[in-house]
């Protein structure tokens, strides 16, 4: 059974929130980004593409995009600084007797 284009987008959004630990707001943003990037253009033109099975596939694809975007946007943590070591000669004179 096919859905209207709007119902299909709603279903993909709902599936993202139900299948994965993604907020509704994040799911809506991702679906809107995908729509703006013409991901759903054929879905609009070909009603047969707007099925429940296809919505599950598209929800998985949207979630992967969310994961890739969050991984790419995560700041890289710098490695902890190593303490500088003095050469043995310099340390030899600093010992307490």
Percent of the chain whose pLDDT exceeds 70: 75
Instruction: State the Cα–Cα distance between residues 41 and 67, nearest whole angstrom.
Output: 23
Helix (H, G, I), strand (E, B) or coil at 37: coil
Taking alpha carbons only, the member of 1, 16, 7, 3 closest to residue 65 is 16
In the numeric block, which tokens belong to residue 41? 């253009």
Segment 29-72, tens digit of pLDDT: 999 999 999 999 999 999 999 999 999 999 999 898 878 877 87
In the numeric block, which tokens belong to residue 55? 């919505």
pTM of the model: 0.71
């Amino acid at each position: 059974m096919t859905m209207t284009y709007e119902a299909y987008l709603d279903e993909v959004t709902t599936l993202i929130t139900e299948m994965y630990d993604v907020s509704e707001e994040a799911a809506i943003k991702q679906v809107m980004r995908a729509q703006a990037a013409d991901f759903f253009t054929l879905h609009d033109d070909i009603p047969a593409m707007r099925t429940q099975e296809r919505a599950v596939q598209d929800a998985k694809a949207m979630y992967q995009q969310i994961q890739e975007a969050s991984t790419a946007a995560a700041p890289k943590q710098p490695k902890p600084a190593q303490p500088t070591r003095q050469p043995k000669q310099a340390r030899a004179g600093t010992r307490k007797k």
